[in-house]
Amino acid sequence: MNTKLNAVKGMNDLLPAQSASWEWFEAQVRALMHAYGYRNIRTPIVEPTALFVRGIGEVTDIVEKEMYSFTDALNGEPLTLRPENTAAVVRAAIEHNLLYDGGKRLWYTGPMFRHERPQRGRYRQFHQVGAEALGFAGPDVDAELILMARRLWRMLGLRDVRLELNCLGQPDERQRHRAKLIAYFERHLEQLDDDARRRLHSNPLRILDSKNPALQPLIEGAPSLLDELGAESREHFDGVRALLRAAGLDFRVNPRLVRGLDYYNLTVFEWVTDRLGAQGTVCAGGRYDGLIAQIGGKPAPACGWALGVERVLELLGQDDALPPPRAPDVYLVLAHAPALERAFELAEELRAAGCSVLQHVGGGSLKSQMKKADASGARHALIFGADEWAAGEVALKALRDTQGAAAQQQRVPLQPVGELLRLLGIGAA
Ligand code: ATP
Ligand code: MG
């Protein structure tokens, strides 16, 4: 028996009804990146497993249990479907020596893969847009990246996302904090869950990121990393905050914001919403000054963020803020078979002039073709009928805004097409 083949669980097909929103979203993203001088980078979807183990950190959700890893059947190389793209962008920057003449501002978009329990806003193949500024050390670039995200929300008309901000300091400050954290959690060992106990000595900071509600009171009382910050870290954090305030951006300092990846230092942030349940983080990022050296490059500072495309579109969908799918300008009806070749030619002329033309194929009566024209959403039908054809003309009928003169069907000369383009509202050919 043939079993039905379906998509892999947690991996979604994007059908035309949705992909229109995705195309619109991607166009906004491209405009945003251009507005800030960020340039696109495209890296492979598969990378050596070691890149993520080294880049993301061994004791993280991603590396411990979420990666799609396999060995290349041909040469035995350990490979992984990318669960995120920062490590790969850094790998590419090192491999191609991109930083040789100074800092680089880069952006990417594409699918990421994590073996998680699928639910709304959490999939096994999902999509991110990310921006990475490599080679810049100051709080100015942190602020730039954050304000860039705000601009995107504005361009999209996305409401109700707010910024949470924290400073993770530098490794020595984290080390001091780590010792205090371990001591604190050891005093409350009986309250920890299995995950937290396992992480207590390997990565206690991550306990602060736990989503277990039972742990929240304990986490609230934990020693704050902010108390361990030295003068330089403080100055950096103050710099970011001052720039955000000057730009009129409200934010909340959340000392328990630690992020799920190991590589962050100093600034970390999340854009969050209350409208996606437990999947409330729409965009997350921060500074990762140690990562480039960790992956084998010449030490250089870096900062970036990644947003979840599905989550952003889900929010926009809730607000009815997604644009309708784009309909063709013209549906071309062929009610007189001898006109077929000229119909093809006209369709090409109109397209060359920037018009979207859906040409009827497969024959059928005038009535059934007009039904299809209507259902297509096109603004106009262009009809090749026997009478018009004999007179060297074509009939133009408005299908939508059926008010005033445009409502009537009118006959227009086939040659030259200028008059037709004018009636269609298309600029001179
Ligand atoms: P979460 O805490 O929700 O698991 P994360 O900290 O693992 O998120 P990041 O690795 O920082 O997420 O990825 C950046 C963004 O990518 C997230 O804020 C979210 O919007 C999106 N994202 C992460 N994992 C998924 C997923 N499995 N499905 C859909 N979107 C995701
Ligand atoms: Mg996660």
Q: Which of 12, 25, 128 to mutate to test the pocket of ligand 1 (most atoms within 8 A of CB)?
A: 128
Q: Is the CB of 84 under 6 A from ligand 1?
A: yes
In order of their start, the domains of the chain are: 16-169+229-318 (3.30.930.10), 330-423 (3.40.50.800)
b/e burial code for range 145-167 (CB count within 10 A of at least 16 → b): bbbbbbebbeebebeebebbbbb
pLDDT in tens, 294-306: 999 999 999 999 9
Site to probe by mutation for ligand 1, drawn from 311, 312, 313, 315 as the one with most ligand atoms within 8 Å of Cβ, is: 311
The mean pLDDT value for 212-223 works out to 92
281 lines ligand 1 (CB under 6 A): yes
Tell me what pLDDT residue 131 has. Answer: 98
Q: 343: part of which helix (H) or strand (E)?
A: helix 340-352
Q: What is the dihedral of CA 37, 38, 42, 47, to 10 degrees?
A: 150
126 lines ligand 1 (CB under 6 A): yes
Ligand lying nearest the CA atom of residue 260 = 1
| Ligand 1 pocket check for 282: Cβ under 6 Å | yes
Looking at the CA of residue 260, tell me the nearest atom of ligand 1.
Answer: 6
**Whether the CB of 134 sits within 6 Å of ligand 1:** no
- How far is CA 1 from each of CA 6, 154, 245, rounded to the nearest angstrom? 16, 53, 65
- pLDDT for 339 equals 95
Cβ–ligand 1 distance for 128 under 6 Å, the answer: yes
Residue 127 Cβ contacting ligand 1 at under 6 Å: no
As a whole number of angstroms, the distance between CA 409 and CA 156 comes to: 38
The residue contributing the CA closest to ligand 1 atom 23 is: 308
Tell me: pLDDT of 35 over 50.
Answer: yes
Of the chain, the percentage scoring pLDDT greater than 70 comes to 97
Average pLDDT over residues 157-178: 93
- Which positions ≥6 away from 357 have C-beta within 8 Å? 328, 329, 330, 331, 332, 347, 350, 351
260 confidence band (pLDDT: 50, 70, 90): low
Q: Which atom of ligand 1 is nearest to the CA of 83?
A: 10
Separation of 307 CA from ligand 1 center, angstroms? 8
Query: Cβ(132)–Cβ(89) under 8 Å?
Result: yes
Would you state the pLDDT for residue 278? Answer: 85
Instruction: Evaluate the omega torsion of the peptide bond into residue 324 and state whether it is cis, within 30 degrees of 0.
Output: no
Mean pLDDT computed over every residue of the chain: 93
Counting Cβ atoms within 10 Å, is residue 115 exposed (0-12), middle (13-18) or buried (19+)?
middle
What local confidence, expressed as pLDDT, does residue 40 receive? 98
Query: pTM here?
Result: 0.91
**24 — pLDDT class (breaks 50, 70, 90):** very high
Identify whether the C-beta of residue 258 lies closer than 8 Å to the C-beta of residue 209.
yes
Atom of ligand 1 nearest to the CA of 307: 15
Is the pLDDT score of 379 beyond 80?
A: yes
- pLDDT value of position 53: 94
From the alpha carbon of 305, which atom of ligand 1 is closest?
14
Name the band, by pLDDT with cuts 50, 70 and 90, for residue 361. Answer: very high
Concatenating the DSSP letter of every residue in 119-144 gives BTTB-SEEEEEEEEEES--SHHHHHH
| Alpha carbons 166 and 259: distance in angstroms, whole number | 10
Rounded Cα–Cα distance for residues 303 and 139 (Å): 10
- C-alpha 302 to ligand 1 mean position (Å): 20
350 contacts 421 by C-beta, under 8 angstroms: yes
Cα torsion at 401, 402, 408, 412 (round to 10°)? Answer: 10
CA 246 to chain centre: 27
Does residue 244 or residue 209 have the better pLDDT? 244
Q: How confident is the model at residue 258 (pLDDT cuts 50, 70, 90)?
A: confident
Residue 262 binned pLDDT confidence (cut-offs 50, 70, 90): low
Ligand 2 centroid, distance to 260 Cα (angstroms): 7
- Measured between alpha carbons, how far is 56 from 65 in angstroms, rounded to an integer? 13
Ligand nearest to the CA of residue 284, numbered in listed order: 1
Encode pLDDT of 71-88 as tens digits. 999 999 999 999 999 999
264 falls in which pLDDT band (50, 70, 90)? confident
Question: Is the pLDDT at 429 greater than 50, yes or no?
Answer: no
Query: Distance between CA atoms of 381 and 385, rounded to whole angstroms?
Result: 12
Share of the chain above pLDDT 90, in %: 82
State the distance from the centre of ligand 1 to the C-alpha of 402, rounded, in angstroms.
Answer: 47
Separation CA 36–CA 20 (nearest Å): 25
Asked whether residue 111 carries a pLDDT value surpassing 90, the answer given is: yes
Q: Is 116 in the pocket of ligand 1 (CB under 6 A)?
A: yes
Is residue 427 pLDDT above 90, yes or no? no
The answer to whether 337 and 344 have CB atoms below 8 angstroms apart is no
Detail the DSSP E strand segments found in 27-152: 39-40, 46-48, 69-71, 78-81, 104-113, 125-134
Of 7-16, 109-118, 211-220, 371-380, least confident by mean pLDDT is: 211-220
pLDDT of residue 310: 97
205 pLDDT above the threshold of 70: yes
405: confidence class by pLDDT, cuts 50, 70, 90: low
Write out pLDDT tens, residues 320-341: 889 888 899 999 999 999 999 9
The count of residues in the chain is 429
pLDDT of 208 higher than 50: yes
Structure tokens at 171: 């490794």
